[in-house]
Structures are given as structure tokens and as C-alpha cells.
């Protein structure tokens, strides 16, 4: 994408801006969809209909809400730290937006081909913690502060199992580039990393159970990283009102929601790339078989987004089914279960890939 | 003091801290935070206010503050006739309105010496048990919601909706029913309402199984509630906790069995009890009581006799409107009752019933006029809230929310 635009315009700046704009538009569209989708999923799980008035089955509800949000008065409490309070939502969104730069939507639609893509993703996604802490501190509200502290502890802890699982994939594939990890899992779905990778050998079959364990660990810890139920204690509605964004309203609040939903897709994308073949189709491309090569990247983008949305759906499904953990239990899950298992998994995967 | 100046060696900051009336430096050094939960808080079930002293997330001390929903119902009763007060009993425990109606009317009947017909008594039992199921469903649902399982509350409200529809047919109102009258009930129960009740009972069994599947097969839910907010048997008795919370601590006390009223002595039912006394036991307790109530309801529907639903005592009990409009005697009595009241004999009485939240009692003192001279409400939610400061100590903020949910106070009743 970037390369194509660069060739077309001959200017780095224009190419960068356009690529960023395409991704931003994708995020906004996705969030518009995801908010509506979440409300529909929750409604149907609870014997309700959800939004029905605005547009067909309420599809335009999010737009109506967005317009309402734009009209809201921007209230800043007198005792709040104005500067940090204003920067915080922007910073949080920057963290999740920056993560999209390295995510390969298809072999052509890729913001920036970073060689250390997965490393970059892990680094940038922890940027969000700073924003959350800022929001909690600057609001000058005890509930916000409690939420922010919980969130910081949680995100920092859960990055460790995530990183350990990522390491096992890196050992298997021998690359940090998200693009290359996706490319390796080409052709049919049994070449995906969850099924032991593309190489057909004994190691592939030995790897399958450990890859499933790895997938479960990373999925659980990414749930915690995006503060979704059962790990939504930073914004635990019934305890902390709304956690670190209790004091926010209007567009600033909308920025937090935007980054939350953007993060949901980003972590789903990571899981998809690492374990479920990234943008690769599970059974070949229509474009290749009818001889229309230009169709392939679009198909890839379709598969990538479809897989991502499926994992987002699972996140929503969990949210409306599970209760919420307590703070100490949350830490127990991470430090006593996930990290030792992730370590063990890492060692075993290492040995198997030596075979 | 030295320690303080060591930490705050910046003089300006220190002076500012000393001058600030809102900050107690000793508290700041102890790493404690005073946090105000409620009266506007999603988890405090109305307008309960709790002041928590936290060390990190652990609760060091907790002080409940009541009275935000105080409407002076006890005082208001003194300026109302006995009949006028019935609608106000709806507003006490607004999740189980019918039980309150029945309790008040039974107290007045005991005071005035009126006996309602047997069919009316059976209808009162039916509506009480329906109301108990509704209240427990709300309790279970909101409890699960406090712990984070939001779907549960929708499912329990779906079942409760059916009860509201039954009340709508029966009393003409879904929520604030005001159904009972002194000497009987407002209207007879017809065959369609009975059919609706039977159908509801059939569906309730399935729904309860479904709800249990949602939360009880869930390890997170169990771990959040097990051994949290333990209320030992002795403490429960000493603190005056009543109702399901008392029985969950292992005390087999139910007014329906201890001092049978209505026709509960003709009904075969079990009093479920648990010995653990923790939040999970209180959850199971309510689930089991719903099942028992369903059993009572089935028996009541079978045993209900035919006959009048309001006592034939024109001097003290209001007649049907049709009779008032067509007969002279009834018109005169209606006029007298409405204007002067039923004038029970001088004396006092206390009558208590088993409400969804516990033992609800009315103490009425009469001086022979149409208005009660004094009416005192013994409200179970108020009694249950006594326990909160004891069992929350040492818990975490998340547990406080679960404990409030498990005690299930209704502030309309606690504040009166």
C-alpha cells in the first residue's frame, strides 16, 4: 500500500498520510460496526432486541450516538489536572492506532513493513498504560485512580505471558516480521501455526497440542490487556462506576471507547497472525483460480478482517457470559498459572522445533 | 511529627498539607484512603451510602449511612386512616409489594379483630409467594450483576415480568399493587389468572435450571463468592439478621413455620438452610426458597376453596362498589368508614410475616379513632444492614459489592 502510493505520488509524506488515513477510516468504520454489534450480541444473549429504531435493526444507532456525543459539553472538573486530562485520551488512542501501522491486512495493504513487527506491536500497545494512568491521576477522583492503578498492574502483568507465547512463535518461524509470519502460513488451513506450521514433519504433529495451549494463553492475556470481561476490573461497572474514565464525557470519553474497540481488533489481529494464518485464506483464492490476480489482496483483506471479527465476537460472547474476577484473583491467574504454563510451553516448543 | 517532616521536607508542601482541612496527614502516612461509595453508585441498590477506609484495595473499616430515602412513613400513618395507608406499604420493599400489603392488612385485622374469608386468605398466600419469587429473582439477578454477570439480570427480569403480568390482571397494577383490603382482597382470582400462574410455574422450573447453568457451572462466579462475607450463626443472631440471610447462616427460623399465619400450617413445605453463611450460601438460599415458594403455590392453587373474598362485616369492612351504589345501608357504612375510619378498639398489636427480605413486622397502637396513634415498622432490610460493617472488614472493594448484593437490602424499606 505504502509502496504503491509512493510510486504513484513520488512523495513520502503523501504516501504516509494516505496510508494512515486508510487505516484510520478502517478503525472508525470498525468501531461503528463493533459498538452496534456488541449491543446486538448482548441483546440477543439476553432475550432482548437491542437498538431497533435508527436504521435497519438499528445499524445507524452508533452514528446517532456519535452525533449526540459531539454535541455534549466538554466538562473538566476544576480540581482536575487540565493538561494531563486533555492529553490522556489522545495518548490512549495513539497507542492503539500506532499498533495498526504494522498489522498486515493483506499482502498489499500494509501500513509499514517493520522487520521487528511483533516486537513493535508489543511495545506500542503498552503505550496505552501511560494514557490510562494519566487519565486516572489527572481526573482527581478516587475511583478513577483505583481503576488506573488496577489497569496498570493488570496490563503490565499480562504482557509477560503474551510475550512468552509470541517468543515461542518466533522460535518456530524464525522471524519477527508479521508479514513474513503470515506468508509462511500460506495455502491451506493445516499450514497455520495452530496446526504446527507449514512444514510437514513429525514436529508438526507434536506441536499441535502445545500450539493450542499457546493460543489459549495468548487469547486470555490479550483479553486482559484490552480490559475485557472477565478481566474488566479497571472499569468494573458495579465497583468503580467506570474506572479511569469516570470523569470523562463527550468526545474525550468517545476517544476512550474508540481506542477500546480499536484495541479489541488489534489484539484479535495479533492472535490471527500468530496462530490462524494472518490474511491467508483457509482454502486457496478465487482470484488465482479464475486468473484475476488483482483480486487476491482483496480476498486476503476479507479473510483477515473476517477472522479478526470472529475473535472480537468471541470476546463479546465471553463478556456477556462471564462474571468478573477480583483483583487478587486476576493476579493469581497471571502469575501462578499463565506465566509458568507459558514458560513450560516455550521450552517444549523450543525442543520440538529443534527436532 | 518528625517522620512527617522527613517525608515532606518541602516546607511549602508541608504547610499546604497542614492547612488543608480535608487531608489528615496521619491518614496519608498510613497509606489509607477514605472513599465514599454511594448514595449514587451502581452497586449500592438504591441510595445506600457506605464510607470505606481502604488500605490499597482492602477495606479497613466501613460505615453504612442510611436515611437518603427516608419518607417518614411511620409518621405519615398517624394522619391517615387504616385503609388509606395500604398503598404506602407498596413503597416499602418495592420488589415484593404484595407481601407488604398482606403484612399490614393482617396486622390491622388482628388489631380490629376482623377475620377474612378462607378464600381471601388463600389468595393472600398465593400473591405473597408470587411476590416472594419476584423479589428473590430480582435479588439473584442484581447480585449476579454486581459480580459482573450482566446477562443474569435480564433473564431473571424476564421471569419476573410474567409475575408482573399476573399482578396486572389481579390488582390492575403491575408494580405498586395495593391489592389487599382490610377484611379481604380487592378482587377475586379468576380462572385465567390461575392458568397464567400455573403456566408461569411450569416455565419457572426450566428457567431456574437455565440460570443455574449460566452461573453455577462457572468457576469465576464460585470463586468470587465462596468464603466471602462469612456471617457465623452466633453473629447472625446477635446482629438481628433476618430472612434468607439468617437461614443461610444456619438458623432455621421462618415466621411461616415459627408463628404460622394465613393458612401456612395447612401447607407442606421445607425451610431450606445452609451452614456456610457466606455470599455463595446466600445465593443458593434464595434459589432454594424460590423452589419452595413454587411448591407452596402449587398446593395453594389446589387447596383454594370457593367463596367470598371479602368479609361480610359492613361496619368495618368496605363492601363492593356495586352494593354501595345500589343499597342504602352499604352506602351509609361506606360513608362512615371513609370519613371516620374503622375505629379499632383501644390497644396495641404487633404482627409479623415472612417477607422476601426477612421478618417484616407492624406494631400498631390504636386509641380508638380512625387513624393509628402510632405505627412502627420493623423492616428486615434495616436489620440486615446491621451486619454490613462487621462482615466487610478485611474484604476487598470488589467483595463489598458482592456482600451488599448478597445481603440484598432494599433502601425503600430500610429508610422507610
Tens digit of each residue's pLDDT (9 = 90 or more) over A306-346: 988 999 999 888 888 888 888 888 888 888 888 999 989 88
All residues of chain B having their beta carbon less than 8 Å from the beta carbon of residue A331 are none
* Mean pLDDT to the nearest integer, A117-128: 83
C-alpha B296/C-alpha A129 separation (Å) is 55
Residue B256 has which C-alpha cell?
A: 411461616
All residues of chain B having their beta carbon less than 8 Å from the beta carbon of residue A238 are 42-43, 145-148, 401
Per the CB < 8 Å rule, is B148 touching A238?
yes
Tens digit of each residue's pLDDT (9 = 90 or more) over A24-63: 888 888 888 888 998 898 888 888 888 888 888 888 888 8
Per the CB < 8 Å rule, is B398 touching A327?
yes
Query: How many CB atoms sit inside 10 A of residue A279's CB?
Result: 31
All residues of chain B having their beta carbon less than 8 Å from the beta carbon of residue A45 are 151
Per the CB < 8 Å rule, is A238 touching B144?
no
Per the CB < 8 Å rule, is A46 touching B221?
no
The DSSP call for residue A104 is B
Distance from CA of B318 to the nearest CA of A (A): 44
Q: What is the ipTM of this complex?
A: 0.79
Helix segments in B217-348, DSSP class H? 219-225, 233-239, 244-248, 255-258, 279-303, 321-326, 328-340
Nearest to B381 by CA among B399, B356, B362: B356
Distance from CA of B261 to the nearest CA of A (A): 39
All residues of chain B having their beta carbon less than 8 Å from the beta carbon of residue A322 are 148-149, 218, 220
C-alpha A225/C-alpha A220 separation (Å) is 9
C-alpha A124/C-alpha A101 separation (Å) is 10
Per the CB < 8 Å rule, is A321 touching B224?
no
Which pLDDT score is estimated for B363? 92
Q: What's the mean per-residue pLDDT of chain A?
A: 83
**Sole residue written with cell 470498525:** A30
In Å, how far are A208, B102, B110, B350 from B261, measured between CA atoms? 66, 11, 11, 13
- Which among A143, A324, A327 has CB closest to B57? A327
Helices and strands (H and E) in chain B: how many:
20, 8
**Strand segments (E) across B367-407:** 374-378
Per the CB < 8 Å rule, is A325 touching B224?
yes
B57 touches chain A (CB under 8 A): yes
Nearest chain A residue to B36 by CA: give it. A142
- Which among A45, A233, A326 has CB closest to B399? A326
C-alpha A230/C-alpha B217 separation (Å) is 15
A46 touches chain B (CB under 8 A): yes
For helices A142-173 and A250-275, what crossing angle results, to 10°? 20
Percentage, residues of chain A above pLDDT 90: 1
Residue A345 has which C-alpha cell?
A: 510451553
C-alpha B183/C-alpha B314 separation (Å) is 10
All residues of chain B having their beta carbon less than 8 Å from the beta carbon of residue A328 are 396
B154 touches chain A (CB under 8 A): yes
Nearest to B196 by CA among B158, B157, B168: B168
Per the CB < 8 Å rule, is B147 touching A230?
no
Query: pLDDT in tens for each of the 416 residues of chain B?
Result: 455 555 555 666 667 666 776 666 555 555 677 888 878 887 777 788 888 888 777 888 888 888 888 888 888 888 888 888 888 888 888 888 888 999 999 999 888 888 888 888 899 999 999 999 999 999 988 888 888 888 888 888 888 889 999 999 888 888 888 888 888 888 888 888 889 888 898 888 888 888 888 777 788 888 888 888 888 888 888 988 988 998 988 888 888 888 888 888 888 888 888 888 888 888 888 988 998 899 898 888 888 888 888 888 777 888 777 888 888 888 888 888 888 888 888 889 999 998 888 889 999 998 888 888 989 998 898 888 888 888 888 888 888 888 888 888 888 888 88
> What is the separation, in whole angstroms, between the first and last Cα of chain B?
47
Given a contact cutoff of 8 angstroms between Cβ atoms, the answer to whether A143 and A317 are in contact is no
C-alpha B311/C-alpha B334 separation (Å) is 14
Given a contact cutoff of 8 angstroms between Cβ atoms, the answer to whether A171 and A192 are in contact is no
B146 touches chain A (CB under 8 A): yes
pTM tops 0.90 = no
The DSSP call for residue B345 is P
C-alpha A246/C-alpha A241 separation (Å) is 7
A44 touches chain B (CB under 8 A): no
All residues of chain B having their beta carbon less than 8 Å from the beta carbon of residue A48 are 154
All residues of chain B having their beta carbon less than 8 Å from the beta carbon of residue A146 are 35, 57, 397
Q: How many beta-carbon contacts under 8 Å exist across A and B?
A: 78
All residues of chain A having their beta carbon less than 8 Å from the beta carbon of residue B399 are 326
Nearest to A148 by CA among A171, A130, A160: A130
Nearest to A172 by CA among A196, A190, A201: A196
Residues 6+ apart with CB under 8 A from B151: A42, A45, A46, A320, A321, B214
Per the CB < 8 Å rule, is A329 touching B224?
yes
**Sole residue written with cell 472480537:** A312
Residues within 8 A of B (CB atoms), A 64-83 only: none
Residue A302 has which C-alpha cell?
A: 476479507
Burial class (CB in 10 A: 0-12, 13-18, 19+), A48: middle
In Å, how far are B8, B20, B27, B67, B127 from B14, measured between CA atoms? 6, 10, 14, 38, 64
C-alpha B310/C-alpha B333 separation (Å) is 15
A109 or B336: whose pLDDT is higher?
Answer: B336
All residues of chain B having their beta carbon less than 8 Å from the beta carbon of residue A324 are 147-148, 220, 224, 398
B401 touches chain A (CB under 8 A): yes
Per the CB < 8 Å rule, is A326 touching B398?
yes
A291 touches chain B (CB under 8 A): no
Nearest chain A residue to B214 by CA: give it. A321
* Mean pLDDT to the nearest integer, A5-26: 79
A232 or A217: whose pLDDT is higher?
Answer: A217
The DSSP call for residue A304 is H
A333 touches chain B (CB under 8 A): no
Distance from CA of A231 to the nearest CA of B (A): 10
- Which among B149, B158, B399 has CB closest to A323? B149
Per the CB < 8 Å rule, is B154 touching A47?
yes
Nearest to A131 by CA among A160, A166, A103, A97: A97
Per the CB < 8 Å rule, is A236 touching B398?
yes
Q: Which of A146, A323, A331 to mutate to test the interface with B (most CBs of B within 10 A)?
A: A323
- Which among A46, A143, A323 has CB closest to B154? A46
Nearest to A128 by CA among A161, A102, A151, A145: A151
C-alpha B335/C-alpha A11 separation (Å) is 95
A328 touches chain B (CB under 8 A): yes
Query: How many CB atoms sit inside 10 A of residue B98's CB?
Result: 29
A237 touches chain B (CB under 8 A): yes
Per the CB < 8 Å rule, is B35 touching A325?
no
Amino acid at each position: 500500500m505504502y509502496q504503491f502510493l509512493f510510486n504513484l505520488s513520488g512523495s513520502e509524506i503523501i504516501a504516509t498520510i494516505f496510508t494512515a488515513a486508510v487505516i484510520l477510516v478502517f478503525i472508525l468504520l470498525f468501531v461503528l460496526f463493533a459498538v452496534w454489534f456488541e449491543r446486538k450480541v448482548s441483546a440477543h444473549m439476553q432475550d432482548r432486541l437491542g437498538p431497533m429504531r435508527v436504521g435497519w435493526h438499528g445499524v445507524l444507532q452508533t452514528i446517532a450516538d456519535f452525533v449526540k456525543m459531539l454535541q455534549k459539553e466538554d466538562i473538566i472538573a476544576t480540581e482536575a489536572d487540565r493538561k494531563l486530562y486533555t492529553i490522556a485520551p489522545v495518548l490512549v488512542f495513539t497507542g492503539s492506532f500506532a499498533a495498526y501501522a504494522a498489522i498486515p491486512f493483506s499482502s498489499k495493504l500494509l501500513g509499514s513493513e517493520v522487520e521487528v513487527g511483533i516486537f513493535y506491536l508489543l511495545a506500542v500497545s503498552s503505550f496505552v498504560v501511560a494514557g490510562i494512568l494519566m487519565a486516572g491521576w489527572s481526573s482527581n477522583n478516587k475511583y478513577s485512580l483505583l481503576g488506573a492503578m488496577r489497569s496498570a498492574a493488570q496490563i503490565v502483568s499480562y504482557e509477560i505471558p503474551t510475550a512468552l507465547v509470541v517468543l515461542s512463535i518466533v522460535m518456530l518461524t524464525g522471524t519477527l516480521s508479521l508479514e513474513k509470519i503470515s506468508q509462511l502460513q500460506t495455502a491451506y488451513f493445516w499450514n497455520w501455526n495452530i496446526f504446527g506450521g507449514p512444514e510437514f514433519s513429525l514436529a508438526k504433529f507434536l506441536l499441535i497440542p502445545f500450539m493450542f495451549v499457546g493460543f489459549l494463553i495468548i487469547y486470555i492475556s490479550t483479553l486482559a490487556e484490552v480490559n475485557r470481561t472477565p478481566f474488566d476490573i479497571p472499569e468494573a461497572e458495579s465497583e468503580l462506576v467506570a474506572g479511569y474514565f469516570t470523569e470523562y464525557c463527550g468526545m474525550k470519553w468517545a476517544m476512550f471507547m474508540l481506542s477500546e474497540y480499536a484495541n479489541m481488533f488489534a489484539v484479535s489481529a495479533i492472535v490471527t497472525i500468530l496462530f490462524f494464518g494472518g490474511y491467508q485464506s483457509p482454502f486457496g483464492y478465487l482470484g488465482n483460480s479464475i486468473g484475476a490476480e488483482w483480486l487476491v489482496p482483496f480476498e486476503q483483506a476479507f479473510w483477515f478482517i473476517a477472522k479478526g471479527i470472529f475473535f472480537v465476537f468471541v470476546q463479546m460472547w465471553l463478556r456477556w457470559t462471564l462474571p468478573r474476577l477480583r483483583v487478587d484473583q486476576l493476579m493469581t491467574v497471571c502469575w501462578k498459572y499463565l506465566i509458568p504454563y507459558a514458560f513450560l510451553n516455550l521450552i517444549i516448543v523450543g525442543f520440538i522445533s529443534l527436532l | 511529627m518528625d517522620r512527617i517532616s522527613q517525608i515532606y521536607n518541602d516546607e511549602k508542601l508541608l504547610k499546604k498539607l497542614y492547612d488543608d482541612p480535608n487531608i489528615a496527614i496521619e491518614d496519608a502516612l498510613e497509606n489509607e484512603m477514605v472513599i465514599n461509595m454511594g448514595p449514587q453508585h451502581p452497586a449500592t441498590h438504591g441510595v445506600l451510602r457506605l464510607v470505606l477506609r481502604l488500605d490499597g484495595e482492602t477495606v479497613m473499616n466501613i460505615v453504612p449511612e442510611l436515611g437518603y430515602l427516608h419518607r417518614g412513613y411511620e409518621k405519615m400513618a398517624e394522619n391517615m386512616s387504616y385503609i388509606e395507608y395500604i398503598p404506602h406499604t407498596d413503597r416499602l420493599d418495592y420488589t415484593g409489594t404484595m407481601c407488604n400489603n398482606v403484612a399490614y392488612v393482617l396486622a390491622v385485622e388482628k388489631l380490629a379483630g376482623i377475620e377474612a374469608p378462607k378464600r381471601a386468605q388463600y389468595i393472600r398466600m398465593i400473591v405473597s409467594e408470587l411476590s416472594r419469587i419476584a423479589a428473590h429473582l430480582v435479588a439473584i439477578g442484581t447480585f449476579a450483576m454486581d459480580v459482573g454477570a450482566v446477562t443474569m439480570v435480564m433473564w431473571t427480569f424476564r421471569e419476573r415480568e410474567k409475575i408482573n403480568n399476573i399482578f396486572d390482571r389481579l390488582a390492575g397494577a403491575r408494580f405498586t399493587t395495593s391489592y389487599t383490603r382490610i377484611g379481604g382482597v380487592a378482587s377475586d382470582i379468576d380462572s385465567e389468572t390461575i392458568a397464567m400462574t400455573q403456566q408461569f410455574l411450569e416455565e419457572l422450573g426450566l428457567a431456574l435450571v437455565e440460570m443455574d447453568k449460566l452461573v453455577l457451572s462457572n468457576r469465576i462466579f464460585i470463586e468470587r463468592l465462596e468464603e466471602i462475607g462469612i456471617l457465623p450463626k452466633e453473629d447472625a443472631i446477635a446482629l438481628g439478621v433476618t430472612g434468607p440471610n439468617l437461614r443461610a447462616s444456619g438458623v432455621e427460623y421462618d415466621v411461616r413455620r415459627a408463628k404460622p399465619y394465613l393458612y401456612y400450617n395447612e401447607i407442606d413445605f421445607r425451610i431450606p438452610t445452609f451452614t456456610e453463611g457466606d455470599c455463595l450460601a446466600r445465593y443458593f438460599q434464595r434459589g432454594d426458597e424460590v423452589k419452595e415458594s413454587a411448591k407452596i403455590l402449587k398446593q395453594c392453587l389446589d387447596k383454594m376453596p370457593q367463596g367470598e373474598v371479602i368479609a361480610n362485616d359492613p361496619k368495618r369492612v368496605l363492601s363492593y362498589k356495586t352494593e354501595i351504589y345500589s343499597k342504602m345501608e352499604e352506602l351509609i357504612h361506606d360513608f362512615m368508614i371513609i370519613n371516620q375510619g374503622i375505629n379499632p378498639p383501644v390497644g396495641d398489636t404487633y404482627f409479623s410475616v415472612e417477607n422476601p427480605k426477612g421478618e417484616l413486622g407492624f406494631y400498631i397502637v390504636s386509641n380508638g379513632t380512625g387513624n393509628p396513634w402510632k405505627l412502627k415498622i420493623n423492616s428486615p432490610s434495616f436489620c440486615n444492614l446491621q451486619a454490613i460493617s462487621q462482615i466487610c472488614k478485611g474484604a476487598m472493594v470488589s467483595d463489598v459489592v458482592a456482600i451488599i448484593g448478597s445481603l440484598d437490602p432494599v433502601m425503600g424499606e430500610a429508610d422507610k
